[in-house]
Structure 1
């Protein structure tokens, strides 16, 4: 057989091996998404911090939205964190949601929210918004100025905390800072 007929199969074999290596090769993003919940943003321990006190197994639903707003699933997924309502783990009581969105404008903090020291954003007893480091939008392949993580707390958690804004804010701060830190590590865009 002539050597010129061996070149194309050899090139195809090398390309296939490179593609398989890239898909199988471990990465921070793949590892964190496999080990943690909410697309790798939270450990299970931290995910359980905001809690309505009624018992039930921690359940996480990463709802993949419809449409193709972005290639990365982090921009089209809302993470619903809840507690099982009964013995079957098919229905749950919502504890909170986490949502990550690219944006060019930042929301003003509501009355009672506090700025986060060392990060851009604010934490409130019912909702929090924190921006990922400035280098993240480019690493996350978005042309917006900011990437914002939004936490919205369910009413049951607020009632369980007896409307204690300080306790809700402290738990929310821990939760959003871990989520932002883990996302920044996944995309290698830490400050």
Structure 2
């Protein structure tokens, strides 16, 4: 009896020690070259104009990511599990959750919805209406933002396009995907959209 209890306790301790900790994923989007040190959770930035990105995985005990640049070192807190976006670009990143509908395809929109998108985009460009509840984001340079607790969420950078369709899971759900653009891109897209609406 004592041996069985002792062996069970040992097995539980081993299982706890071997089970993976709570992970935090930090997606870094930068203007310039970046070098990542996974061991120290440090990103070294050489400022420039080219877009680069990397991903860091932090354990439960890791509480921050440090960015080293010519401007000095800056630490960004990563307090709990989830997927974060660290913006070390020279422009604000504006993003939203992609709506694939129920069939795994990006949904089409009506004229009324398009007008709503124009209004919402204009507000977002001005730093208004960003909301965790609505999954819309306005992330200024040198800041970090937690987007979701879903470890499998995907982030699409400003220079990649949203896929036309994606595979759905057995429950018919599309993957959780976020599209980000720079504020400059959003202003250009909005201007083109408004011109198209006039025709």
**Common fold by TM > 0.5:** no
Give TM-score, length-normalised by structure 2.
Answer: 0.32
Q: Which one has the bigger strand percentage?
A: 2
Q: Which one has the bigger helix percentage?
A: 1
Give TM-score, length-normalised by structure 1.
Answer: 0.33
